Structures are given as C-alpha cells and as structure tokens.
Amino acid sequence: MYFSPETLTIGMFVTLILFITLGHPLAVTLAAVATLFGLINNGFEFNFLFNMFANNCWGIMNNYVLVAIPLFIFMAQLLDKSKVAEKLFEVLYLVLGQIKGGLGLTVVVVCTVFAATTGIIGASVVAMGLLAAPPLIQKGYQKEMTSGIICAAGTLGILIPPSIMLVVYGGLTGMQATSVGNLFAGAIIPGLVLSGLYMAYIFLRCTINPSLGPTISREEADKYSLGKKLWLTALYLIPPMFLILLVMGTILFGVATPTEAAGMGATGAFILALANRAVTWEVLKQASLTTLKTTCMVMLLFVGGKMFSSVFMSIGGGDVVADLLVASGLSSWMALIIMLLIVFIMGMFIDWAAILLVTVPIFMPICIELGYDPLWFSMLLCIVLQTSFLTPPFGYALFYFIGVAPEGYNMLHIYRGIIPFVILQLIGVVIMALFPGLITWLPHLAFGT
C-alpha cells in the first residue's frame, strides 16, 4: 500500500506526540516511531531499515565532538561538590545586598558565573533554590519574584558555554558554520544580554516597588569592611573565572578544540575541588556514576533521534515541511517566526533534546534555502529553546525548584513568577534577530568564519 509523503509526515508527528503524552521514554519513543514508519515506507524491508539505522548510529558513535559531553558533565559534578557557587553567593550577598533588588541581582550574577563553568541546569536551579531561596524569603522578597529569579537565572547554563545543548547541536548539524566552537563563541554575548535583561528588570521592579525586594540591614552590610569584601570577592571569583578562561579562552584563542577544552575544564574543576578539600572517594564515585548515567541518557536520545530524523528525511518529510514554508509565499521573517513559534510551543511539552533532534534536521535545510546565516538562526533557535525550561506545564526548572523550595510554595507561585522572565527571554530573541552582529561578531573575531 502506498502512502504519500504528506500522509507519512503527519502520521509520524501525530504518533510521536501521542506516545510522548502517554509518558513513554523519549529515546524509545523516537526509535519505535522511526521503526514503524520506516517499515511502512519501505514495504517492511527489515534488512534495508536495519542497515540504515546501523550506519546512522555508527556515525554518531564515531563523532569526536561528542566526547566533550561526559567531560563537561563530570566538570559540573565536581564544581557542584566544591561549593564554589555557595561561597561566591555568601560574599556577593553582603556586597550587593543594599542595592535595590540586590539579593536578586546576587542570584543572577552567581548563576551567570556558574553557567559559564557547568552548563547543567539542574545543578544551578537546585543549588540556588537551596542556597538563595530561604534568605530571599526571610528578607521579605515576594515568593513569585524569588522563584522567577532563581528559575530564570538557573537556565542560563543551557545557553552560556560550556553548554551541553550547544555540543549536541553542533554534533547534529555537522556544519562548519555551526561547529561547537562557533556556537560557543556565538552564545556568549546572547547569554550575557539575557543576564543583563534579568538584572535590569529586577533593579527597576524593586526600585518602583521596594517591598518586592527589600535590601539587607546596614548592620549586616557592614559586617566586613570594604577592603575585606573586595578581597573575599576576588578570592571566590577568581577560581571560577580561571576555569572559564581555561575552557572558553583556549577555544576562542585557537589553543584547543572544544573536546580538548572540556578535558582541561574537567581537570581544572578537579583541582578546584581539591583546593576546597571536597574530593573524597565517595565524591568521585558519585560524580562518575552521575556522569555515566547522564551521558548514557544523552547518547540514547541521540540514537533514537537519529533514527527518527533519518526515516523522516527518507519519507520526504523534510521536503514537505520545506515546501510548506518556502512555497507558501511567506516572507523570510514570517517563516522564521513560524519556525521559532513551533519550537516555543514544543518546549511547553517536550524535552529540549527531543526538540533539537526532531527540528534541526528539518529546519536547517530551510534555513539555508531562505538564505539565513546558519549560526544566527541556530542561536535564535537555542535562545527560544531556553524557554522550554520555564514554560508550563513541563518546564524542568520549575520542577527542580519546587523540589527544594521553602515551605509554603506551590506551583501557582512559580508559574506566576516565571511569566516576566519568559517575556524577557522573548525580548532577547527579538534583540538578537534585529542585531545579528551580537551573535556573529565574536565567532568572526575568533575564527574568521
């Protein structure tokens, strides 16, 4: 029986969404849907489908770039144990505490630094939820404001390098323009712009309505002299900044590839943990096990996603979507908005990895067809993907936070709190779309591409 590419394309997406909403494991769902529709499309030729899957999976496992994933995860685990973020928060708490919204600003600064050293969302949100939420509430910060600040700032790690999402993205495209090095360089300014938007919003909101974010008392602020504060700030800020330079500096200056830089970062994190006397056999065992589990999960998603995308492209699904957008007569801007809107809506229900694995193989050819700069388009897509951690009903950052939130919190507080920050993220997308140089300038400067 013959089915048209349009019928198979719609069928694949509907079946995928149905299986995901039923709660089946994502990697298995992607592989199962790919197998089902691959067999339908090929007249149940098992050998042909098996060979196609084997070749695609071998290509993934042979991708040297993906070696960076376990190294960056291991680096994040060691940093979490070394209490770098905790000590930095304690110092900045006293330094910025008397500014309007100063404690909220402290959370954003610490999360920005932490994002540039780990790239793991769960670690940032949980650490700040345990560390910052109790003092923020105790000082009189509004519950919604507190949850919004911690959840939004905690998601910066998915964008600011070294980001696991960017490593996955670079591994998916295989293009020089969207190599991991270019993506890392292109994400730095957008990540800092988002951080700046959060800080500006907190300061203005708390200036207009000081009851939302009260300052700390003069007695607490004067606990240390100015010289002592500056010394402690430098003492606890220099180690993570050294690690950032070790990872990003070596990439931007062409000293190391992203994979090599990941190895250097893991070594640097181990040295920091040693310096903080946080290294024990139990810590190394737990960090290694967590790294193994997370890496296996990511690679299984890669395999399932590659199976799905290979079948989807073989049935002509990519051409169906491309023709729909390109031949519809829409302007390139409208086509861009529709693609980003699709990613935004998918982010409300599906994990970021699944969105990448499904959309990138489809959208990237359309991006080339419409004449977009691939790096610019990729970064816009990744910024929109960051919202998937905040948007209800399945925003992971929201669940991370509620798991460690102080007593008296419910999901309604968190949902209300994240709305302004989702809007700020979308404003960030608009800024990057209108001023592409914010994305492309640093990659051009570092790599000339």
Question: Which pLDDT value is given to residue 1?
Answer: 57
Query: In this structure, is residue 6 part of a structural domain?
Result: no
- Return the structure tokens found at 322: 């491309």
Give percent of the chain above pLDDT 70.
94
What's the rounded mean pLDDT across residues 415-435? 93
Give the least confident one: 24-28, 215-219, 310-314: 215-219
User: Is residue 189 pLDDT above 90, yes or no?
Assistant: yes
Question: Which pLDDT value is given to residue 197?
Answer: 95
- Residue with tokens 């300038």, as numbered in its chain: 441
Query: In this structure, is residue 239 part of a structural domain?
Result: yes
- From CA 392, how far away is CA 344, in angstroms rounded? 11
Query: In this structure, is residue 58 part of a structural domain?
Result: no
pLDDT band of residue 361 (cuts 50, 70, 90) is confident
Give percent of the chain above pLDDT 90.
12
Question: Which pLDDT value is given to residue 437?
Answer: 92
Residue whose C-alpha is closest to residue 351's, from 25, 6, 86, 77:
25
* Secondary structure (DSSP) of 156-219: GGGTSSS-HHHHHHHHHH--STT-HHHHHHHHHHHHHHHHHHHHHHHHHHHHH-GGGSPPPPHH
Q: Which residues contact 311 (CB under 8 A, 6 or more apart)?
A: 12, 34, 35, 37, 38, 41, 49, 52
Question: Which pLDDT value is given to residue 27?
Answer: 78
- Highest-confidence segment of 259-263, 340-344, 368-372: 340-344
Query: In this structure, is residue 292 part of a structural domain?
Result: yes
| CB-CB contact of 104 with 256 (8 Å) | no
User: Is residue 262 pLDDT above 90, yes or no?
Assistant: no
Q: Is residue 58 packed enough to be buried (19+ CB in 10 Å), middle (13-18) or exposed (0-12)?
A: exposed
Query: In this structure, is residue 340 part of a structural domain?
Result: yes
* Secondary structure (DSSP) of 47-115: HHHHHHHHHHHHHHHT-GGGGHHHHHHHHHHHHHHHTHHHHHHHHHHHHHTTSTTHHHHHHHHHHHHHH
What's the rounded mean pLDDT across residues 396-413? 79
User: Is residue 376 pLDDT above 90, yes or no?
Assistant: yes
Residue whose C-alpha is closest to residue 375's, from 296, 437, 425:
437
The total of structural domains in the chain comes to 1
Instruction: Note the pLDDT tens digit of each residue in 234-253.
Output: 777 787 788 878 787 777 77
- From CA 253, how far away is CA 24, in angstroms rounded? 44
User: For the whole model, what pTM was predicted?
Assistant: 0.80
Give the least confident one: 183-197, 295-309, 372-386: 295-309
User: Is residue 342 pLDDT above 90, yes or no?
Assistant: no
Query: In this structure, is residue 309 part of a structural domain?
Result: no
Residue whose C-alpha is closest to residue 183's, from 422, 385, 375:
375
Instruction: Note the pLDDT tens digit of each residue in 273-288.
Output: 888 787 788 888 888 8
Containing structural domain, residue 263: 66-302+316-447
Query: In this structure, is residue 371 part of a structural domain?
Result: yes
Residue whose C-alpha is closest to residue 272's, from 73, 85, 68:
85
Question: Which pLDDT value is given to residue 326?
Answer: 65
Average pLDDT, the chain: 81
Question: Which pLDDT value is given to residue 425?
Answer: 94
Question: Which pLDDT value is given to residue 395?
Answer: 76
Question: Which pLDDT value is given to residue 441?
Answer: 92
User: Is residue 377 pLDDT above 90, yes or no?
Assistant: yes
Question: Which pLDDT value is given to residue 122?
Answer: 65
Q: Which residues contact 198 (CB under 8 A, 6 or more apart)?
A: 108, 149, 152, 153, 421, 424
- Return the structure tokens found at 104: 């909220």
Query: In this structure, is residue 353 part of a structural domain?
Result: yes
